[in-house]
Amino acid sequence: MKNLKVVVLMTFLTLFMLGNAQKKKVAVVTFYADKMIDLSALDASADLIAKNTNLSDDPNFNLTEPLNKLHDAFFSEYAENFDFEFIAEEDVWANETYKTFKPTYEEAGSINKDIESTTTVQGYKVIPNYRQNVKDLKGVAEDLGVDAIMFIHLDFGFVKTGVGSFGYVSIQARFSMDLYSKDNKSIFQFHEVAGSSKKAAMVKGIPVMSTDKIQPMCESAVDKLMKDLNKKVARLAKKANKKM
């Protein structure tokens, strides 16, 4: 009986060690938000486009706090659903190959990224999940010793309610989380949206594009998004764990 217990214990330890040895490693290589709000749901006049640009340039329109809240929730809650290991962010930020990496901000069929209109979690580069960037990051992945790289991005768009030039707008927060193997193969592309509970009136079909109106709606949308992500990421992780 004693020998049987020893055999069972040794088998358990062996399986445990094998499980840890086979655990895949993932590096988050970007975590940023775009301050330029998507106007496609509205009749975007030249005046509205100019106001949107001015808003994104306004230092008082600061998305750092909601972005950091999302970031903290990701690593403290959502990441725990995955079986693979996320390497320490500090290891990514301090890596020389990562620090010297130069992303591309233009890709055919995609909206060119204006880096000046973005906010990042401190330490990260703004790296759109363009195929060229995924391919070029192979050297970074190999230097970090990871099996896959993850892109996390947050942006916003208007949602209109009402008819014609009358009505209200709310803000929709759009979360993207894309995982690629270091060999440029897509493992998953996950997108989730959530609308703000706060709304703002339109004047002659144009929303009031002031920081004190838009920022609370962005923050409200992110709060709703974070609640939705708790369940959605758990379901995604079950499928992703099998793929990895």
- DSSP for 19-83? HHHT--EEEEEEEEEE-S-B-TTS---HHHHHHHHHHHH-TTS--HHHHHHHHHHHHHTGGGGSS
Contact criterion met (CB below 8 Å) for 217 and 186: no
Mean pLDDT in residue range 209-230:
93
- Which tokens go with 56? 């994104």
- Which residue, 29, 48, 189, is CA-closest to 93? 29
pLDDT band at 239 (very low <50, low <70, confident <90, very high): confident
Residue 112 has pLDDT above 70, yes or no: no
Give the H or E element holding residue 218: helix 211-243
Q: What are the boundaries of each domain within the chain?
A: 25-243
pTM of the model: 0.86
User: What is the rounded CA–CA span in Å between residue 67 and residue 176?
Assistant: 13
pLDDT band at 50 (very low <50, low <70, confident <90, very high): confident
Mean pLDDT computed over every residue of the chain? 87
pLDDT band at 165 (very low <50, low <70, confident <90, very high): low
pLDDT band at 3 (very low <50, low <70, confident <90, very high): low
pLDDT score at 88: 97
If one compares 112 and 216, the residue with the highest pLDDT of the two is 216
Percent of the chain with pLDDT over 90: 62
